């Protein structure tokens, strides 16, 4: 079987997968995506994402399973992403509206996740490097990136409590809302990511 580079697979996935769409950058702001991995950020999560059936361990479509935290759900049935396997998506919901999405996974191919986000959201608005010291005494350098979106932010970094994992957090109390009164450009339809 011929070897295909991760970049080629990543490019092909973005070109072919219908759940991903291009977003445009307005100055330092990125148009907030309207969907992420098949989860509509502007709709009624509870009505649009059904509960997972107990007998279906690998659903074909997004479905939800309640976690131990109130208002938090694991979303299963995610589409394939050309990043390290084992990624999971968690949605925090208030009155049916998604207020935060967290994609988490194995940090072994961290650069692929950053490449995916940069391809869809453009250059990060901010980036920082910090030293994380573990209880064992070992220290590690960890990069953190932030994209500003209309009405929120996208943060990407290693999990400081478990450096073997990363998290991409889409957060806002107004995910999917229009730009505020002092907007610098006309509102456009939100892309999906």
DSSP state string for 130-158: EEEE-TTS-EEEEEEEEEEETTEEEEEEE
**Ranges under pLDDT 70 in the chain:** 1-34, 151, 172-193
Query: Which stretch of DSSP H or E encloses residue 9?
Result: helix 6-16
Domain membership of residue 83 (yes or no) is yes
pLDDT at site 31: 56
The pLDDT value given to residue 134: 75
CA–CA gap between residue 176 and residue 91 (Å, rounded): 14
Phi, psi torsion values for 37, nearest 5 degrees: 50, 40
Task: Please give the pLDDT value at position 70.
Answer: 92
| 159 three-state secondary structure | strand
pLDDT confidence of residue 69 = 94
Longest dimension (CA), the chain: 55
pLDDT of residue 55: 81
In a domain, 177, yes or no: no
Neighbours of 143 (CB within 10 A): 15
Q: Has residue 15 been placed in a domain?
A: yes
Which tokens go with 126? 């901010």
**Is 188 inside a domain boundary?**
no
Residue 136 lies in a domain: yes
Write the Ramachandran bin of 27: left for phi over 0, alpha for psi from -120 to 50, otherwise beta.
Answer: left
Range of the domain at 96: 6-50+68-171
Give the whole-angstrom CA distance, residue 144 versus residue 78: 25
Count structural domains, the chain. 1
Q: What is the pLDDT of residue 103?
A: 93
88 part of a folded domain: yes
* Closest alpha carbon to 83 in 160, 17, 149, 170: 17
């Amino acid at each position: 079987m011929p070897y295909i580079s991760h970049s080629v697979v990543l490019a092909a996935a973005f070109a072919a997968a219908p759940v991903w769409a291009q977003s445009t950058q307005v100055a330092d702001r990125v148009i907030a995506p309207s969907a992420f991995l098949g989860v509509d950020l502007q709709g009624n999560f509870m009505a649009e994402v059904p509960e997972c059936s107990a007998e279906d361990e690998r659903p074909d479509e997004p479905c939800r399973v309640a976690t131990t935290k109130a208002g938090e759900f694991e979303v299963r049935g995610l589409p394939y992403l050309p990043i390290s396997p084992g990624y999971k998506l968690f949605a925090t919901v208030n009155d049916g509206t998604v207020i935060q999405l967290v994609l988490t996974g194995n940090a072994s191919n961290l650069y692929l996740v950053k490449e995916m986000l940069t391809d869809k959201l453009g250059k990060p608005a901010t980036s920082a490097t910090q030293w994380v010291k573990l209880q064992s005494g070992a220290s590690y350098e960890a990069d953190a990136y932030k994209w500003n979106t209309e009405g929120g932010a996208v943060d990407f970094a290693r999990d400081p409590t478990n450096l073997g994992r990363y998290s991409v957090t889409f957060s806002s109390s107004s995910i999917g809302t229009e730009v505020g009164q002092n907007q610098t450009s006309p509102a456009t339809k939100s892309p999906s990511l």
